Amino acid sequence: MELNQTSPPPTSAVTDTEEDKQCWIDITDVAIDGVTLLIGLCGLVGNGAVLWLLGFHIRRNPITVYILNLAVADFTFLLFAITSSLLYVVNNASCSAVVSLRYLRSFLLLSLFSYNMGLYLLTAISIERCGSILCPLWYRCHRPQHLSGVMCALLWVLSVAVI
């Protein structure tokens, strides 16, 4: 005697309901991204003004070289932060992955690069100011003329090497 085995009929057919089609957008994410964009745009304007003034209108001295490089690092950090924030907003608003996670990670790495550079430059500025206070005679008479530029170049290389 042979048993005829069949699978049981499905209990419910697979259909798209209204709940499946809805996309949930978290309002706190949108608010945080909006505040990030607003602060970032204000920072870009401020750093752009510093770049314009130090790049074209003010005579360079050892500290202004550091400040100019710091403004470049901050400007690039804000540029990458705003771009990644915009990409997150687009991904959240479209309810699907419009931008690959690989691109978002690359923007994160680039923003970390410029963030590290800003920290290195702040450290160099602090050391320079302490040196000018502790050894004022050496600072005025024996300090190498292009030390600030060389230090900034080395710090950019260090920041690239760390990333």
The pTM of this model reads 0.77
| Domains recognised in the chain with CATH numbers | 26-162 (1.20.1070.10)
Other CB atoms within 10 Å distance of the CB of residue 70: 22
Residue 16 has pLDDT above 60, yes or no: no
**CA gap 160, 163 in Å, rounded:** 5
**CA gap 158, 28 in Å, rounded:** 37
Residue 14 has pLDDT above 50, yes or no: no
Using alpha carbons, select from 119, 128, 130, 111 the residue that is nearest to residue 155: 119
pLDDT digit string, tens, across residues 22-81:
667 777 877 888 888 999 999 999 999 999 998 888 888 888 999 999 999 999 999 998
Q: What is the pLDDT of residue 127?
A: 92
Are 39 and 81 a contacting pair, CB within 8 Å?
A: no
What secondary structure does DSSP assign to 2-56, as a single string?
-----PPPPSS-----HHHH-----HHHHHHHHHHHHHHHHHHHHHHHHHHIIII
